[in-house]
A = this chain, B = another copy of it.
């Protein structure tokens, strides 16, 4: 299964595509959609939507996932982020993709085994799980791949549970 993970942002949106059977993961593509700081929010959201549509069109994922918005510290930043997340959810819905939603805690627990892991630890584990010669340079792209790995792992676990339940 091909899984797209997205790390939303109004200026930098990371994306990561993996092929996964739920246990072994292979990197297909990863990168960052960048919208200039000079543009207004609406223009940045448009660049982001166009970029995501291109990624979806080029790589045809089977499923997708985004992180939930966390707002314990800064409601203003969370609200800004939620604008971008709304646009990401729209792009995924318009592509007919089902969307997994996970908290940062779930993503880190799934990838690193520890919910309070540092970004650099996530980056190192993403590299290790994908068998890459070096870590992905962009943390946004790496975080997006982490979301994809989390989703692939959860989907496989849910399928196994459902399989056991029915047999």
A→B interface (CB under 8 Å): 40-43, 45-46, 49, 69, 71, 75-76, 78-80, 82-87, 89-90, 92-94, 99
Interface of A, secondary structure class, is helix
Copies of this chain in the oligomer: 2
> Within 8 Å CB of A75, what residues of B?
71, 75, 78-79
Once A42-B99, A99-B42 are accepted as A-B contacts, the answer to whether A79 and B71 lie under 8 Å apart by CB is: yes
Interface residue from B80, B84, B89 paired with A45 (Cβ < 8 Å): B89
A42 contact set on B, CB distance < 8 A: 89-90, 92-93, 99
**Cα-based distance from A85 to B87 in the complex (angstroms):** 9
Can you list 10 A-B pairs, Cβ within 8 angstroms, ordered by A?
Answer: A40-B99, A45-B86, A78-B79, A79-B79, A83-B83, A83-B89, A85-B86, A87-B87, A87-B90, A90-B90
Do B90 and A45 have beta carbons less than 8 Å apart? yes
Residues of B within 8 Å of A69, CB to CB, are 79
A41 to B49 Cα, complex, angstroms? 17
Q: A75-B78, A83-B89 are in contact. List 13 more A-B contacts (CB 8 A).
A: A42-B89, A42-B90, A42-B92, A42-B99, A43-B93, A45-B90, A46-B90, A49-B90, A69-B79, A79-B82, A83-B86, A85-B86, A87-B87
